[in-house]
Amino acid sequence: MTAGLSHITFITHDLNKMSRMIIDVLGGEEIYSSDTRQFSISAEKFFMVGDVWVVIMHGDSLPSRTYNHVAFKTDDTGLARAKLAIEKLGLEMRAPRPRIAGEGQSLYFYTPDNHLLELHTGTLEERLRVYT
């Protein structure tokens, strides 16, 4: 049995551009950069986004976009702030899926490497409550 999430790794063709997105949009804090040292399969950087350890590693972009995504929790203020940062960075937003009242707000956007990320204001408990 697992004890929870350890970390999330995204492969990116541009570590600096992805770093800027993690810091400006997700409010992440860079805590490590391999720089010229390489302990893993490629150059990498570590971030803390809230209480989630996010890793970015240099490599080829995903060849296509899908609905596979990672959702980060936020509140209404954070959602509005992130939208401005996404627009400033020129990232593409995806239209949200249809929602029913009470399940929270979402903002979906693609990284430059075709990863789909979501910022979501709701909780599992809230969603289950409105679904029943």
Residues serving a catalytic function are: 44
Helix (H) / strand (E) element for 80: namely helix 76-89
Give the angle subtended at the CA of 123 by the CAs of 118 and 124, to the nearest 5°: 105
Helix axes 76-89, 15-24, angle to 10 degrees: 150
56 neighbors 15 (Cβ within 8 angstroms) = yes
Please, what is the end-to-end C-alpha distance for the chain in angstroms?
A: 29
68 neighbors 46 (Cβ within 8 angstroms) = no
User: Helix, strand or coil for residue 34?
Assistant: coil
